[in-house]
Amino acid sequence: MPLYELVCIAAHVPPPNRELHQLITNLSSRVMRTGGVVRDIRNLGSRTLPMRMRRHQQYYTEGDHFSMLFDTSPPVLATLNESLKNDPGVIRWTMLRKGTTIKDLVPKGEFTVKSQSNGRGGF
């Protein structure tokens, strides 16, 4: 399964932000129900948007940003895109494919662990 990153801007709601929590819970449970793995969820905070954005016939000037790193299959990715498109609390999102193999994810030269040998054979 390929590794993807979702970067999303949701409509800003003052704390406690139950709508954002519900959105993240729905997305992560949908990935896990279909055999995927959620690796990381990061709250990137509430920020003023660089320009006024329109979504679902409303204008937004502030948004709550978050990212989610997950493994899933491409058909599940299409259903996630569809649910984000129909959610009225989502302003913008993008899905980035990070890689499909370990070689795509690990920087060159970090595949092996170098041990310090004492010269007597062994570790």
pTM for the model: 0.76
Domain boundaries, given as residue ranges, for the chain: 3-105
Q: What are the tens digits of pLDDT across the range 24-48?
A: 999 999 999 999 999 999 999 899 9
> Which of 103 and 59 is assigned the larger pLDDT?
59
Residues 92-118: pLDDT tens digits? 999 999 877 666 666 666 555 665 656
Closest CA to 64 of 56, 53, 72, 80: 53
Does residue 62 have a pLDDT over 70? yes
Burial class (CB in 10 A: 0-12, 13-18, 19+), 48: exposed
pLDDT at 5: 93
Angle 15-65-58 (CA atoms, 0-180°, nearest 5)? 80
Task: Write the CATH number of the domain with boundaries 3-105.
Answer: 3.30.70.60
Q: How many CB atoms lie within 10 A of CB 107?
A: 6
Task: Assess contact for 76 and 4: CB atoms under 8 A.
Answer: no
pLDDT of residue 2: 87
